[in-house]
Structure 1
Amino acid sequence: MMKVLYNIIVLVLFICSPVMAERHPHILVNEEDKAAILDKIEKETWAKQIFNQTQERLEVYVERHQADPHWILDRYLMNRVPGKRYTHFISDKEGTRLIGYRGDAPVPTVRVSPHKRSPITAQGRAYVVPEIENLIPNDTSMTMNLLNPVTQQYERVDPQSYVAAINGRINVLAYEASVIYWLTGEERYAKFAADVLNQWVNGVVYQEPIDGPGRTGFLDIQTLGDEKEKPLVLAYDFLYPYLVKHDYSLDNYEKAFEKIAWTLSFRGYTGNNWFAAESSTLVAAALSLKDAQKRNYYLEFYLSRDTIVDGCGQLSLPSATKQWFTADGHWKEPGGYHNYPVSKLIEAAMMLENNGYQIFNKYPELLKAAYVMLKYSFPNLTASAFGDTGRPRQSIECLESAIKMADKYSLSILPDLVDAVKILENAGLYDRENTGITGVLCFLPKLPVVNTKGGKLWNRTEKLDFASCYLQRNGMDRQNGLMCVVQGATYNHNHSNGMSVELYGAGTVMGIDPGNGPTYEHPMHVEYYTQWAAHNTVVAAGSSTSLSPFRGGGGTKSIGAVELVSMEPLAGIKALSDEFSYTLTKYKEGATKTNQERLLSIVRIDEEHGFYVDIYRSDNKVSNDYLYHNIGDNVELYTVDGDIIELQSISSYPCVGKDSPGLRYFKSVRTTGCYGKGVVALFSAESLTPKHGYMKMWMPATPDVSYFTALSPEAKTAQAPYLHKPLPVVTMRMEKAADNPFVAVYEPTSDGLSGGVIKNVERIKIPDGVNGSALTVETKQGDIYIFASTQELLEIPVRGKKCCADWNIFAHTKDKNMIYVGSGTFAEDENFEIRAKKKGNFFLEYDQKHLLVRSNVPIEVIPKDKSVNEKLRGESYIDAGEKLFPLE
């Protein structure tokens, strides 16, 4: 019955599907495309450069192959010893490593990566993958001499995942050589590629997918690793005429390609990015099958049919776009995981488009995803690095593919895509010469000429709901732009970090999340990088951690989620003020039952200066540690007057019990002891280019606080040259932080201790019994900024200020006065009183000549000066919107 059902399904699919070309090539391009591609190489500098560089890189291998055809073949990692030409490979029950080998083929078989992770040195760094030239020919040992990058010594170790990495490099050479052969007709390139391909297929045809859990692959312990076979699948498509002409046996290819297609259809995770990352290899293998029924059967697992058993298999494109993309196209994992699965889904779709299917006009999510990373970028066009990730940035390849398809279907998104390219080009970050030989084959010769929106890509605020991630920005100038991010939630590849922030300044991300550790199972990753101590957050009772113990891997850490209380502007909404914005979030830290609240605000002073205000409440009655990590060479603490504060060295940071947050990893710890005066921390990053970078962290006088400095482990998210350097850390430690919340004002500058515009930061004492906080910031120019956060009417003992709102700012500058209210009902200064019947956002800006009013709710504006009231002509009740009144 099952066989009959199978035959019915594949027959229907065969009848309903586009006709697959029997000619070669057909996966990426067709024979008819060759003339246009050669013309592209001839006329377009970027394509010519790639073509020439590819030829130059291949030349040494191709030329050597003419005289010594065994050289490259002998360096391919194979099971060569008779009796040990394994055909069956057995994994442990977790799918981490191989524990057994069986079978003996009549020819050498391809070695399978014996472990899912890279080999790691005792110092926590990955060993260096050896160059092809340094490989021992016909090496059958299970260990290799690998270079330790720290000691610069060679050490005999298990290569683990490097087995597939090494063979993958040779596979890429074969693919590139096959393309050069197709374009030029020079058979020496074909001979090189065909011999690699022939040795590979004659071995793998005897091999079976790994015997193990659903995560295990065919030629790699993980299905993800089977992507390294895709270059050979593509090479076969270009080499086919040569293979036929020179009597290479073609009998084994159908079986080999189906093994790849079967493995990727029914194995690999569907609860993360794996299925998407495997999609282009699956589609390439399926398109290579000559049996039309089988070809269409496997293609359906990308096009429309899900195959999920115990969380493994494939999600089809319709399911993927519905379950794994946000409305604007962001993959629902950390930004560093966006480009990998999205690029493969797009690549698979491009292959299908080339074979008669229409994909991109039906799935706009793919086109949105192709440029969405720019939407969430800092002013240097990198994105936030929360979770298990490095510092992500926009993919050029995704953009190029999307532009070609949007142009093909004349879609309205095309101007946005081209606009994204122009943004990258203007920043010197878009180079088509980096798109490789596949770019030469598949991308347009020139970008379409369209009317673009002129860089209107960025909103003042954005949000990613799945990650409870909220960002604010003010200006996208690389050197002077400001942007901050607060986030924390339970999702795949998250970290246990509470309400963690990243801060941008002086041309780079200065206050950073650390990214992941050496591997997902390495003690440093499990005990530090994924834990509270590695992040810019607050540790409660020295014990903050996930609700269920984290023991390693790249999965989900159960920490609950940050909740948004209020935010101005809301994502996608026009801001009320050019100078101010804020987010107010709250969080219940489950392990210690601690209630926390964080208010983060941007204040723009002028085009070159601004600062961040951070107010963090945490009600744990044992202790609360406020942590801030900043890139740099060092950090020093100063008094408000600029005198250095002498610190006492201590053996370790104060920890509790087993130290779940990972505070024990702080080194070179120094402390002020209990210190009741104001403190200014200066983080110095003098190796930044083109200008030095500094972060001044102003901490107003607070009772019962101890300040610490330390060095934390390196972060993989830092800008060079700070990528592999320890991070300076400043912490504040106190009890009863809910009564006196942590307050820090961050000012990025390029001029050291004397730089910046802030002169002083002070707390404002508020009446007993009032639940709120207030502070004042004075600039060197004499401007005064008063900040207050309160849920009840608060009378501030400075110039008659009163307010009731989540966030209030009163600004007195030499040019104008401003009142800014976020989610509030009342504000009053010496000149105006503003009331709202329901909570809302409103902003007043006034000088001697004008009064500007903006709000998102109806408000009543009451001038205290009768002459001003007369000039308003009774218009004290103002509807939501904007109104400008002359005061002269």
Structure 2
Amino acid sequence: MFRFKFLYWITYVVIILFCSKQNSCAQKIDIPLNIQNNHPRIYTDHDGQGLLSSKLKKADWAKNVVDDMIEELEPYLKQVDKDSNWMLSRLQMYWNSHHTDIYISGNYFVKAQGKASRPTVRFSGSRDWETPYAAPRIEDLKPFADPEDGTVYMMKEGKGEWVSPEKSGLIIEKINQQILRYAQNAAFLYWFTGNERYAKFASGILTTYLTGLLDRKLPIAAAGDNVNNISALTSFEVIHQGEIPFVTVCHDFLYSYLKKSYPLFSSNVAAPVFKKWADNLIDHGIPDNNWNIFEARFLSYLALALENNAVYADGKGSNYYLDIIYNKDFPRNAALTTSLKGFDKETGIWNESPGYSLNVSTDILSIILLTDRAMPNSLLPLMPVLKKAVMATAQYLMPNNFAVSFGDGHYNQLPAKSMEYLIYWSRKYPDSSEERKFTRALKYSQGSSYNRSKVESLFDLFFYVDQLIETPPASLQDFASVTFYAPNVSWFVQRNGFDLKNGLMISSNASAGNHSHANGLSIELYGKGYPLAPDFAAGSSYWQKDHSEFYSQFAAHNTVVVDGQSKYGFMRGYHPFALKSHYPQKAQQDHYFSNVTYGNISFVEPETQSDQLRLLSIIRTSDSTGYYVDIFRSKKQKGGDMKHEYLYHNLGQKLTITDSKDKVLLLKSTDELSTLKGDVIGYDYFTDKKSIKFDQDFKATFELKLNRQPSVYMNMWMKGNDQRTIFSVNSPKSRALNNKVVPADIVNLPVPTLVVKQEGEAWTNPFVAIFEPSFDNNSAIKSINAIIPASVNPDFTGVQVINKDKSTQFIFSDAKGLTDNQYKSYSFKGEYAVASVKDDQLQYLFIGNGVYVSDSSISMKAKNKELTASLQFENEAYRLFAEDPLQLKFLKSNFNGQSLKTINSENKRKIFKGMVIKENGKRYILFDIPALNNDFIKFSLIKEKIKN
């Protein structure tokens, strides 16, 4: 693993250096030779007051933004009216010590030394944001606080304490950013109103802070520590310098006042600090993930705050840094045009987990909107990939309108900003069809009540259009497909129905891309409005043990652990699955068989070198009912399997386990599943562990009680097997949850978890489970039985699902797909097949990546290669969907004539001529049917009875 990562980074650096010399690896953006020399220029220009005044008259939300700023600042302005130092004195600085040199070790501040002639800005306490302390209110901060012992004033449980900086997390930098935000807003209000009261408030803070950075040096790391590769002037990470936008915008709006009151400040203080910040951003960081986007955003503010190159002796001005942002690659900073390659060309998905991917487009668009003001029309070629990427984020959505949460993600809505920015762009560079598309997507993703009432950002005040146009209502189906595969993050999703309450969805993923977890072949399941089988997101922070030991590891995921040892590196994933087959085709929106979706995915678990194969399917039984099929095979490549453990987490307050006759199984406390027994450390986070040895079929019922709403149940049936042990445990809370996606009283609950241990291998003894979400335990399934084929095939497994509506599905799976399998009247050869019967009438046959499937009177057989097809009987007619050429065979006694008269979705008619053949003493009519190319044909036969 180490060798792989080392080679990866060497290769990446070589590519970056080559690209920077050859200037041929990304599209070049032309940078203007002269940038306008007026201020402000970042969000608007010196004539922008009229445009903004017009917007405030048209849009209440915009007027509220300004009114809220005025209201928020007024109490502090009154304090500064009395004491000009009142607010600036609360900046976290080395007021007395004037330290210039910062020393850090790992993720923590060690000490500050050196002495400047004036106060300097205090460095942050830690890279880790997890801390028991909180920031004091602005009113409670101590003015000019800089004790000789170097401590800082923080709050803990409502009481103030002086603590060592390394214990304070990110609070020091966050306090400064809060104060600088006030300065930015005051500078804006000065520009907009002309009231110098705001200018005096803002300039005191700005000049103090920027002067305090003039002498400050970059931190020095302990010997052998590479943290200096990512460290910054004020923070352990260059991407945490949230003060940069506030400071540059404050300076921009305050420019005329500063020229009058502090004539040399912009040239002698602001510009050198802006360049120091910019050069640090170029030299430090991580060039191939979201870090690079954060850095480019900060660089954009700094570039626009500077003057043209010719103004500076070193020739490094606005044009110089804009060229770096878009066109230059460095070992630790890539051009934005290079970064855009992080989006998959086919899918538009960014190469990180959803929690990060969702916001990358927003950040890039903000960079483009900012810099477009200085270089209009130059950035148009970059927009197609971003438009595609923003629309692709809808693929993350569950039917409840929240995004899935694999890796370091959370269950959140899509960000409104990315669509708002595209609407702004579509109006600036007029394209009414694009504006309608993005507006429709915005209104759908944010809900019908979206009214911008929570807009607070000064950026958004300028870059949201005043009013949204009217658009027709939309649904998830307008933006998301039935199946979707993003290989760059090893993620495959299948949906069956898009309805909030009755839609079904499986999100499956392995470990690829950034911010991924060590989770093997993991799934999330949706049901009745909730992510019932959730992912768990990151721990309390990336540097805390709960993250490295539990949240980022197998124990927190719905997966299979081998020999209690499954684990590998997390954060940057190198272990994708292989999508062997699936149905329907990716991004297919219509003309598919809607009763069955499936995906067959394989994976090599690297720690134990185990082959794993997980077949996941959704079977729809009515508009409001359906269930999930999960067939998980796992075995070590070299044998010697001790055990395989199937982990399944489900929201709820109660887990009940019964046998096939609904008798409750009595589980007893156990000390298994722990490091004391040689298992992965994540098992130590399980509590209330109980177990029972049980080799028969069983049912697990997870109950989620909700206030003033029907309870939601997940009913799980699992096929029994020899040498099985069932465990009931509680997992820590899922940190992916919030009170928007589930009720507040559910957010912090432990998660009931089922663990099923199979001694020995689990390939010929796979885990076969059926999951059905329902309200108030109104299950539509009556019973489930194992299918035993006529002849032994170690690669075959099957299950019969009997429903209360008297329909039955026969589900067949073969790991290799090379054997003829017989069960009652059914024959099957392939990866996956489903036969559904109701009232002795065949409802449908479905085959996924197989050779043939048949009952006693009908068969579908591949003609050239493996076949994916379905034959559905409905309303006295058959409907055939076929992705591949096939031979369709009917029992002659059920069919008049030798021609098949068909009609397709476009009402085009076609006749297929058949031929009579004899097999096993029976006469059949055989038809050759071509691949139907995402269409179907419909035809009628004599209605036949099927008995099983």
Is TM > 0.5 for Structure 1 vs Structure 2? yes
Closer, same or farther in 2 for the Cα pair 1:852/1:635, shift >3 Å? same
RMSD, matched Cα: 2.7
Q: Which residue of 1 aligns with 2:312?
A: none
* Aligned mate of 1:47, from 40, 52, 62: 62
* Aligned mate of 2:232, from 204, 213, 217: 217
SS of corresponding position for 1:378 = coil
Query: Is the deviation greater in 328-337 or in 726-735?
Result: 328-337
Closer, same or farther in 2 for the Cα pair 1:43/1:413, shift >3 Å? closer
Q: Which residue of 2 aligns with 1:390?
A: 410
* Aligned mate of 2:793, from 769, 778, 788: 769
Closer, same or farther in 2 for the Cα pair 1:170/1:466, shift >3 Å? same
Q: Which residue of 2 aligns with 1:628?
A: 648
Closer, same or farther in 2 for the Cα pair 1:253/1:640, shift >3 Å? same
SS of corresponding position for 2:220 = coil
CA distance in 1, matches of 2:345, 2:398: 20
Aligned residues: 853
Q: Which residue of 2 aligns with 1:505?
A: 527
Q: Is the 8 A contact 1:88 1:211 kept in 2?
A: yes
SS of corresponding position for 2:216 = coil
Q: Which residue of 2 aligns with 1:285?
A: 302
Q: CA deviation at 1:74?
A: 2.1
* Structure 1 unmatched ranges of 5 or more: 1-5, 122-126
Q: CA deviation at 1:451?
A: 8.4
Determine if the alignment matches structure 1 residue 839 to structure 2 residue 856. Answer: no
* Aligned mate of 2:289, from 260, 263, 272: 272
Closer, same or farther in 2 for the Cα pair 1:222/1:334, shift >3 Å? same
Q: Is the 8 A contact 2:444 2:473 kept in 1?
A: no
1:679-709: CA deviation from partner (whole Å, max 9, x where unpaired): 2222222237865322111223333211111
Q: Which residue of 1 aligns with 2:421?
A: 401
Matches within 5 A, 1:172-251: 172-212=181-221, 213-247=228-262, 249-250=265-266, 251=268
SS of corresponding position for 2:753 = strand
Q: Which amino acid aligns with 2:334?
A: L
Q: CA deviation at 1:296?
A: 1.3
Closer, same or farther in 2 for the Cα pair 1:238/1:370, shift >3 Å? farther
CA distance in 2, matches of 1:836, 1:328: 30
Q: CA deviation at 1:262?
A: 1.2
* Aligned mate of 1:824, from 837, 850, 867: 850
Q: Which amino acid aligns with 1:303?
A: Y
Closer, same or farther in 2 for the Cα pair 1:635/1:120, shift >3 Å? farther
Q: Which residue of 1 aligns with 2:662?
A: 642
CA distance in 1, matches of 2:53, 2:545: 52
CA distance in 1, matches of 2:153, 2:665: 49
CA distance in 1, matches of 2:799, 2:609: 28
Q: CA deviation at 1:533?
A: 1.0
Closer, same or farther in 2 for the Cα pair 1:196/1:687, shift >3 Å? farther
Closer, same or farther in 2 for the Cα pair 1:601/1:20, shift >3 Å? same
Closer, same or farther in 2 for the Cα pair 1:148/1:819, shift >3 Å? farther
Query: Is the deviation greater in 59-68 or in 834-843?
Result: 59-68
Q: CA deviation at 1:505?
A: 0.9
Closer, same or farther in 2 for the Cα pair 1:245/1:326, shift >3 Å? same
Q: CA deviation at 1:170?
A: 1.4
Q: Which residue of 2 aligns with 1:850?
A: 877
Q: Which residue of 2 aligns with 1:492?
A: 514
Q: Is the 8 A contact 2:785 2:801 kept in 1?
A: yes
* Structure 2 unmatched ranges of 5 or more: 1-19, 222-227, 310-314, 902-912, 915-926, 943-948
Q: Which residue of 2 aligns with 1:883?
A: 937
Q: Is the 8 A contact 1:416 1:452 kept in 2?
A: no
Determine if the alignment matches structure 1 residue 306 to structure 2 residue 326. Answer: no
Closer, same or farther in 2 for the Cα pair 1:115/1:581, shift >3 Å? same
1:67-122: CA deviation from partner (whole Å, max 9, x where unpaired): 233222222111112xx211222333x5x23334232122211111132111435x
SS of corresponding position for 1:299 = helix
CA distance in 2, matches of 1:469, 1:161: 33
CA distance in 2, matches of 1:463, 1:477: 21
* Aligned mate of 2:468, from 447, 450, 456: 447
CA distance in 2, matches of 1:478, 1:359: 43
Q: Which amino acid aligns with 2:445?
A: L
Q: Which residue of 1 aligns with 2:169?
A: 160
Q: Which residue of 2 aligns with 1:89?
A: 102
Q: Which residue of 1 aligns with 2:889?
A: 862
Q: CA deviation at 1:381?
A: 2.2
CA distance in 1, matches of 2:708, 2:119: 52
Q: CA deviation at 1:197?
A: 0.8
CA distance in 2, matches of 1:429, 1:540: 47
CA distance in 2, matches of 1:869, 1:237: 84
Q: Which amino acid aligns with 1:440?
A: L
Q: Which amino acid aligns with 2:713?
A: Y
* Aligned mate of 1:254, from 271, 275, 286: 271
1:320-351: CA deviation from partner (whole Å, max 9, x where unpaired): 11245554432211111124443332212111
CA distance in 2, matches of 1:723, 1:353: 42
CA distance in 2, matches of 1:885, 1:152: 78
Q: CA deviation at 1:172?
A: 1.6
SS of corresponding position for 2:197 = helix
CA distance in 2, matches of 1:817, 1:424: 36
Determine if the alignment matches structure 1 residue 105 to structure 2 residue 111. Answer: no
Q: TM-score, normalised by structure 2?
A: 0.85
Q: Which residue of 2 aligns with 1:68?
A: 83
Determine if the alignment matches structure 1 residue 418 to structure 2 residue 439. Answer: yes
* Aligned mate of 1:374, from 394, 397, 409: 394
Q: CA deviation at 1:152?
A: 9.9
Q: Which amino acid aligns with 2:731?
A: S
Determine if the alignment matches structure 1 residue 351 to structure 2 residue 370. Answer: yes
SS of corresponding position for 1:370 = helix
1:348-377: CA deviation from partner (whole Å, max 9, x where unpaired): 211111112435411122222334322221
Closer, same or farther in 2 for the Cα pair 1:193/1:372, shift >3 Å? farther
Q: CA deviation at 1:452?
A: 9.4
1:225-284: CA deviation from partner (whole Å, max 9, x where unpaired): 223232111111111123234447443111111111111122111133212112111111
Q: CA deviation at 1:845?
A: 0.7
Query: Is the deviation greater in 319-328 or in 168-177?
Result: 319-328
Closer, same or farther in 2 for the Cα pair 1:706/1:80, shift >3 Å? same
* Aligned mate of 1:803, from 824, 828, 841: 828
Q: CA deviation at 1:730?
A: 0.5
Closer, same or farther in 2 for the Cα pair 1:461/1:661, shift >3 Å? farther
Q: CA deviation at 1:500?
A: 0.5
Q: TM-score, normalised by structure 1?
A: 0.91
Q: Which residue of 2 aligns with 1:619?
A: 635
CA distance in 2, matches of 1:19, 1:283: 16
Q: Is the 8 A contact 1:684 1:694 kept in 2?
A: yes
Q: Which amino acid aligns with 1:728?
A: P
